[in-house]
Amino acid sequence: MIAGQQVSVQSARAIVGRLEERVAPLTAAGFLRLDEDDLKAIGFSRPKMRYGRLLAEEIVSGRLDIDGLAGMEDAAAIAALTRVKGIGPWTAEIYLLFALGRPDVWPVDDLALCVAVQHLKALEARPDRKAMLTLGEPWRPFRSAAARFLWHLYRHPGVALGRGDPEPVDIQSIDGPRHGPAEGVPVSRLVVFLHGLGADGNDLISLAPLLSPLLPGTAFVSPHAPFPCDMAPMGRQWFSLQDFSPAAMHAGAVAAAPILNAFLDAELARHGLQDRQLALIGFSQGTMMALHVALRRARPCALVVGFSGALVRPELLAEEVVSRPPVILAHGDADPVVPFAAMAGAESALKVNAVPVHTLARPGLGHGIDQEGLEFAAAALRQYLMAEEPPEARGGSNA
């Protein structure tokens, strides 16, 4: 669970796979024998190293009896896990449900579960924690089974669950969590986050509180991608990556582009803004979508920020490019999911097509976002999104 924080499902699986190869059998004591360079090579960021070591130390010292959790009541097991820094209630509940096979776990903070309950009960608004607790009561003492069925419903929203054929969910009407600006402050700019494969909008909206003090008057929104992920049971995707060929990825981006464009147009209209007051921030597959869409919109946005991503079918850009907003790209040279070379390929194609581009290589970073990358993005947002003149009037260096 710690390995998967703020990275894609693919990256988390790759990190765990490398960890199991490095420490066999994988034990807490074995984990503690790894030094910082070892963990960095595996794909752990510094916060994950710290949390991982704290967990391992708790197990080795006996303060956390990991084997004894199986004999504890649910509440006691959750309390024991959440005493460890880096493990919250959701992580503990998911551990009990999947690893320990507990029959009556109800993770009320799980977004997919809340969305599925909203759909099942035909609620106007997504239920909050208190409402989820109430709505889950009829399923005691088998709420874990209910959660599994509801996660299936989340992935297949048009399914009928014994009450006739419900109207299919309109997957083309995407939405997601929002942040800012402060109440009473008019919205003058918009930042849209685009998450990676297997995540959802909650993955990147956590960056908004870090950026909002630097961008007064900015509204942040992080839409959930339109399709259930076919590689992760509770995540979303902009398009499938079962076929990783350039042609298949391009076809997927083309299919998802109208959905994203409609969302962007609606958000701009909602706030009375123009494209030059919009910035897109993508991670992994979200970067692919941000670049694909922004370079083909009728009017340039203020900025595109791409972390750990790629430009899909760069050889087609010369014929398809319409707008040339400034682009900044950051990528770790230890990325096991999207090759580090993808950034150089994107940079080259953007330069050839007169798109202003700046890049940042992050030594030792895997498939993720680190502090240096975030600061790089924040500086660009201050420079381009907070400026008054349109991006095409500013030009910019292709360095």
Q: Which DSSP state fits 213?
A: G
Rounded distance between C-alpha atoms, residue 180 and residue 256, angstroms: 27
Distances, alpha carbon 232 to alpha carbons 36, 85, 242, in Å: 29, 26, 12
pLDDT tens string 185-233: 899 999 999 999 989 999 999 999 999 999 999 999 999 999 888 776 6
Count, residues in the chain: 399
User: Which residues are identified as catalytic?
Assistant: 284, 335, 367
What confidence score (pLDDT) does residue 180 get?
84
Return the DSSP state at 96. Answer: I
Domains and CATH numbers, the chain: 2-99 (1.10.340.30), 103-169 (1.10.1670.40), 178-394 (3.40.50.1820)
Q: How many CA atoms lie within 13 A of 395 on its CB side?
A: 2
The pLDDT assigned to 63 comes to: 95
Q: What letter represents residue 345's amino acid? A: G
Using DSSP bridges, classify how beta strands 278-283 and 189-194 pair: parallel, antiparallel or unpaired. parallel
Cα–Cα distance, 228 to 237 (Å, whole number): 6
* pLDDT given at position 396: 41
pTM value? 0.62
Residue 167 has pLDDT above 80, yes or no: no
Q: In this predicted structure, what is the pLDDT of residue 73?
A: 96
- Please report, as a single letter, which amino acid is at residue 294: A
Cα Rg of the chain (Å, integer): 22
Query: What's the pLDDT at 51?
Result: 87
Encoding tokens for residue 222? 């992080």
How many alpha carbons lie under 13 Å from residue 364 in its C-beta half-sphere? 11
Please state the rounded mean pLDDT for residues 278-302: 96
Hey, CA dihedral for 132, 134, 138, 143, is it positive or negative? Answer: positive
Residue 78 has phi, psi (to 5 degrees) of -65, -40
211, with CB counted inside 10 A (0-12, 13-18, 19+), is buried
DSSP 8-state code for residue 186? P
* HEC string for 377-397: HHHHHHHHHCCCCCHHHHCCC
